[in-house]
Amino acid sequence: MEKLEVLERLRNILKEEKEIVKREVEKRGSFRGEIEGISRNFCSIKVEKPVSEGTLLGFLDDGLHELGYVLRYDRNGRSAILKLFSTPEEESLKLVEMESLLSYDLQIQALDHFIENPDFPREVDVRTSGQKIEGLDEYQSDAVVASLSLEENEVMRVIGPPGTGKTTFIAYCAKIAMDEGKRVFIASHTNRAVDNALEKILEFDLHRSKYVVRVGRYWKTSGDVRKILLEYMAMRDVTSLMHFDLDSLAKEYSKIERKSLEILSKSRIVGSTLIKSGMYPLVDQHFDLVLIDEASQALISSALLSISQESSFVVVGDPFQLSPVLRTGWNSSKYSAFNFFSSKPLWLRNHYRSNEKIINFASRYVYGGKIKPHESCKNIKLEVDCADKGFRWFIIDPGRTVIFVSVDSRDEPMKKSRVNPKEAAVVGDIVRTLLDAGVEDVGVITPYIAQRDQIREIISVEVDTVDAFQGRERDVIVFSTTAVRNLRFACEKRRFNVAVTRARKKIIVVGNRKSFLIPENRKTLLYHFMNYARENNGFIEYIR
């Protein structure tokens, strides 16, 4: 599809999704709220149920309307202070906790703008320079040099497969750009990716921290990044916000906003989510270089919020991992920010996370042999022993880093998901075996919510879906396939690739070899993994 056709179709999809969200919010029911007072764009409101700070409240009045964010909640008085988006005419309101429809509005507005004014950044096919930067490998160095050589309104792409130092590349690129006098914006669709990059930058040199700012909500950020949160820094010099009347609170929050703008104007590196880039206080900020991380998972509509003709852009992603999530079930990969552009990308190729047998599987069957394990990680293994040399030792054996456990089981539907009780029990047995041997860093991944919930009832380690685990890692990953006859969803190439590449020292896949009696299932990545495990003496039938 041509770019404009992509944007027009996505605009229609987002409009449809917005209506779905509105209906879902209205179905959840409302609770009463009584406005006690309004000062400037703040209000005090009495609510009949507790609300959490950061919650977006809406109200029902011939439709659903956004009211504002909860800044403070007094449990004793059941009273909340809100930063208002709109001022209702009535004092007595039907309130709802709502997913922010503002994100849909911002994305639709961005799409409208670029459909009417299709001045997209010029795509650049960059070439490697051979220039080496201390602290980076040759591929990371090439990507940094190319990024810093971009002109205004130019864009390039970087593919960063799992464990290839994508965050390191972004952090170095931002640091060097700042040292050259440029102002840098680091954005992603997830808070986690933004925090990871900023934490890496803070590791370089603490004196730079006064020039590095994170824009977002305190409860959505993590670790040391909270120290550079714009709101946190702005409140250092502000009088306590406790026990004030509404007028005093409004004045204090206005001071915070003025201080925030002052701090932001002096910043050299700013990080936030893509959606936040289209909102106050970032909407009118200028940046020389924009680095968009995890662009394969971000919709182009959210990335467009950060695009302006005065900036250069580096779109970093991995098209072989998960695509953006669309509620309406459309093929979302064609709407990703990474795939929207088509210039020849630079690749990060050295892998620094996993044992060589784990990453070589992904390299061979997913990445066309383009990534290779670094010496620092290629031989990492568990350091455990076990007196039992049967099934338990087969699972624990540090030399077996890729394992396929075949379970003669069947899956069954549960609501809109699927569950496989026998396989869940085997996963529990495997995890307990690892824990008993002293292996603590274990995670369980499954494609299905129902199977996730079933396994959570059996064991206490972290169990989650593939989508929730992307961007994270564990020493050992146990993957519960769940499905037996139809593997199309469970073993979709990008989904299975994410699951396997979360593991550093061992990957254990639990499935049913009889699945492959069905010809269609022999086309899946799971079938290749079973055979790869056999090649590496890692296949076993579970008989108990």
CB 263 within 8 A of CB 230: yes
Does residue 48 form part of some domain? yes
For 153-192, what is each residue's pLDDT tens digit? 999 999 999 999 999 999 999 999 999 999 999 999 999 9
pLDDT tens per residue, range 13-22:
999 999 988 8
Within-domain flag for 238: no
Position with higher pLDDT, 387 vs 302: 302
Tell whether 34 and 132 lie within a shared domain: no
pTM over 0.85: yes
What's the pLDDT score for residue 372? 96
Q: Quick one: 296 and 435 in the same domain? A: no
Query: What CA–CA distance (Å, rounded) separates 55 from 43?
Result: 15
- Domain count along the chain: 3
Residues 82 and 100 in one domain: yes
Residues in the chain: 544
Task: Specify whether 57 is located in the same domain as 199.
Answer: no
Same domain for 391 and 293: no
Instruction: Assess whether pLDDT exceeds 80 at residue 207.
Output: no
Question: Which distant-in-sequence residues (6+ apart) come within 8 Å of 366 by Cβ?
Answer: 320, 493, 497, 525
CATH at 290: 3.40.50.300
Banded pLDDT at 237 (limits 50, 70, 90): low
Residues 295 and 316: beta-carbon distance below 8 Å: yes
Residue 501 phi, psi dihedral angles, 5° rounding: -80, 5
User: Residue 76 — very low, low, confident or very high, per pLDDT cuts 50/70/90?
Assistant: confident
- Please tell me whether residues 132 and 270 are part of one structural domain: yes
Q: Which residues contact 271 (CB under 8 A, 6 or more apart)?
A: 185, 186, 187, 194, 195, 197, 198, 212, 213, 214, 215, 225
Domain edge (last residue) among 348, 382, 402: 348
Min mean pLDDT across 21-30, 169-178, 444-453 is at 21-30
Decide which of 348, 364, 384 is a domain's last residue.
348
Which tens digits make up the pLDDT trace of 263-313? Answer: 999 999 999 999 999 988 998 899 999 999 999 999 999 999 999 888 999
Residue 197 CA to residue 168 CA, distance in Å, equals: 7
Query: What does the alpha-carbon distance between residue 407 and residue 428 come to, in Å, rounded to a whole number?
Result: 13
Query: Residue 257 domain-assigned?
Result: no
Name which of 54-58, 177-181, 249-253, 499-503 the model is least confident about. Answer: 249-253
Co-location of 64 and 142 in the same domain: no
Q: Are residues 185 and 320 in the same domain?
A: yes
- Give Cβ neighbours of residue 535 (< 8 Å, ≥ 6 apart): none
**Is 362 found in the same domain as 343?**
no
Q: Helix or strand or coil: residue 65?
A: strand
Q: Please work out, in degrees rounded to the nearest 5, the angle formed at the alpha carbon of residue 419 by the alpha carbons of 413 and 422.
A: 130
Cα gap 326→306, rounded to integer Å:
21
- Nearest CA-CA partner of 509 in 525, 523, 520, 494: 525
Confidence of residue 242 (pLDDT cuts 50, 70, 90): low
Predicted local distance difference test score (pLDDT) of residue 368: 96
Q: Is residue 443 within 8 Å of residue 507, measured between CB atoms?
A: no
Structure tokens at 289: 């270089």
pLDDT at 387 over 70: no
CA distances from 275 to 306, 321, 337 (A): 9, 21, 13
213 closest CA partner among 153, 315, 285, 156: 285
pLDDT of residue 206: 60
Stretch 419-434: mean pLDDT, rounded? Answer: 97
Q: Which of 324, 348, 372 is the last residue of a domain?
A: 348
Is residue 89 domain-shared with residue 176, that is, in the same domain?
Answer: no
pLDDT-derived band at 326, boundaries 50, 70, 90: confident
Find all residues with CB under 8 Å of 428, minimum gap 6, and list them.
455, 458, 459
| Residue 283, domain member (yes or no) | yes
Domain of residue 68, CATH code: 2.40.30.20
> Which SS3 state, helix, strand or coil, does residue 194 take?
helix
Give domain status of residue 237, yes or no: no
Residue 514 has pLDDT above 80, yes or no: yes
23 and 51 part of one domain: yes
Does the N-terminal peptide bond of residue 281 adopt cis geometry, omega within 30 degrees of 0? yes
Burial of 246: CB neighbours in 10 Å, binned 0-12, 13-18, 19+: middle
Pair (451, 527) in one structural domain? yes
Helical spans, DSSP H, in 163-222? 166-179, 191-204
Q: Of the candidates 403, 406, 381, which has an alpha carbon nearest to the alpha carbon of residue 394?
A: 403
Whether 247 is in a domain gets the answer no
pLDDT at 99 over 80: no
Specify whether the CB–CB gap between 189 and 273 falls below 8 A: yes
Query: 153 lies in which domain range?
Result: 122-222+266-348
| 111 belongs to a structural domain | no
**Residue % of the chain over a pLDDT of 90:** 71
Q: In the 8-state DSSP scheme, what is residue 336?
A: B
